[in-house]
């Protein structure tokens, strides 16, 4: 029978990309990881990894085995939760949040959770949309909120090893300074923005999406600033540095300093997703936080009513 610890080792090697990195993640020596990996391949009777210098990739059989390992870990986490859970909402809860992104679902919900459960220690960790799910999967954090972009009615594919809830939806809006000629309008077209200075979040999924919208409209955006997050971009819009595109519920320091306009033909919305490891959603601290976050998100009718999404 395959050893679960060896399967976890293979999963970690696959995630980290090298034996040395897997050893650091698991607090094992490099030689111990290598020996366990060799032993697992002997148990399996087929190669599970491809070694190329310091880098390791999985063979098709290795990848299939990792997928089985993910399903096994879901059941093990659920069993541990059942055995160790005494119903008390206490201990440490590590929560990944995009600090300068919105909406402020997580901060409101976790403040309420802290009020209700004073014995629960909540530690916030900065994450991005790109790395949040992997941080949860690797047990570096317990919960995360991330954003995904797409159609109003998404058809999310299940993510192996993770449990997800769609919290809210908000459409993309053009954001301009309050004194901008477009500020008094309700909507605009991408063609109206051809000669505008842009503030863009380069190097992120959302930045690539904004660039693709410009490209589809035949616009070569004139960059006034490149930043790492939408919150910073809105701050520059407030002082008149340029324009940007942002989800409707992303908060600005001063809403009176900016105007938000619908963009003709752009029906992309942001989906705010809550993520935890599958099997751990019944742990009292995680269950309490999930319930609080979902309850707070239900009280955000503005964008939900505007986009009329399907309930999830």
pLDDT one-digit tens code per residue, 167-220:
888 899 999 999 999 999 999 999 999 999 999 998 888 899 999 999 999 999
- Residue 133 in tokens: 């799910």
Distances in whole angstroms, Cα of residue 67 to Cα of each of 7, 119, 277: 10, 36, 14
Cβ–Cβ under 8 Å, residues 100 and 253: no
Give the pLDDT score at 272. Answer: 85
Q: What is the pLDDT of residue 81?
A: 66
The DSSP secondary structure of the chain, one letter per residue, reads ---HHHHHHHHHHHHHSSHHHHHHHHT--HHHHHHHHHHHHHHHTS--EEEETTEEEE-HHHHHHHHHHHHHHHHHHHHHHHHH--S---EEEEEEE-TT-S-THHHHHHHHHHHH-TTEEEEEEE--TTTHHHHHHTTS-SEEEEEEEE-SS--PPPPTTEEEEEEEEEEEEEEEETTSTTTT-SEE-GGGGTT-EEEEETTSHHHHHHHHHHHHTT---EEEEEESSHHHHHHHHHTTS-BEEEETTS--S-GGGEEEEEETT---EEEEEEEEETT-TTSHHHHHHHHHHHHHHHT-HHHHHHH-PPP-
Query: How confident is the model at residue 239, as a pLDDT?
Result: 96
Q: Which residues pair with 165 in a beta bridge?
A: 274
Residue from 103, 95, 114, 85 nearest 170 by CA:
103
* Spans in the chain with pLDDT lower than 70: 81-87, 100-105, 152-159, 299-312
Burial class, 257, CB count within 10 angstroms (exposed 0-12 / middle 13-18 / buried 19+): middle
Alpha-carbon dihedral angle through residues 269, 123, 24, 283, given to the nearest 10 degrees = -80
pLDDT of amino acid 156:
55
Taking the whole predicted model, whether its pTM rises above 0.85 is answered as no
């Amino acid at each position: 029978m395959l050893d679960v610890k060896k399967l976890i080792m293979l999963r970690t090697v696959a995630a980290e990309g090298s034996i040395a990195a897997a050893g650091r993640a698991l607090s094992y020596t490099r030689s111990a990881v290598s020996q366990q990996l060799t032993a697992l391949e002997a148990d399996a009777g087929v190669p599970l990894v491809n070694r190329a210098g310091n880098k390791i990739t999985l063979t098709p059989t290795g990848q299939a085995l990792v997928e089985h390992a993910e399903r096994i870990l879901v059941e093990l986490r659920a069993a541990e939760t059942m055995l160790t859970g005494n119903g008390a909402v206490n201990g440490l809860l590590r929560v990944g949040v995009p600090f300068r992104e919105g909406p402020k679902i997580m901060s409101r919900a976790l403040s309420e959770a802290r009020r209700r459960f004073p014995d629960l220690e909540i530690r916030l960790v900065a994450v991005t949309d790109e790395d949040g799910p992997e941080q949860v999967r690797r047990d570096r954090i317990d919960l995360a909120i991330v954003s995904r972009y797409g159609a109003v009615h998404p058809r999310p594919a299940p993510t192996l090893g993770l449990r997800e809830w769609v919290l809210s939806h908000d459409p993309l809006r053009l954001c301009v300074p309050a004194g901008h000629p477009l500020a008094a309008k309700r909507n605009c077209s991408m063609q109206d923005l051809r000669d505008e200075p842009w503030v863009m979040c380069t190097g992120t999924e959302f930045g690539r999406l904004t660039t693709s919208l410009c490209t589809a409209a035949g616009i070569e955006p004139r960059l006034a600033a490149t930043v790492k997050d939408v919150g910073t971009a809105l701050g520059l819009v407030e002082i008149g540095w340029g324009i940007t595109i942002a989800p409707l519920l992303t908060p600005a320091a001063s809403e009176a300093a900016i105007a938000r306009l619908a963009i003709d033909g752009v029906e992309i919305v942001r989906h705010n997703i809550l993520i935890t490891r599958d099997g751990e959603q019944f742990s009292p601290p995680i269950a309490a936080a999930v319930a609080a976050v979902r309850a707070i998100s239900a009280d955000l009718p503005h964008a939900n009513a505007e986009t009329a999404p399907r309930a999830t």
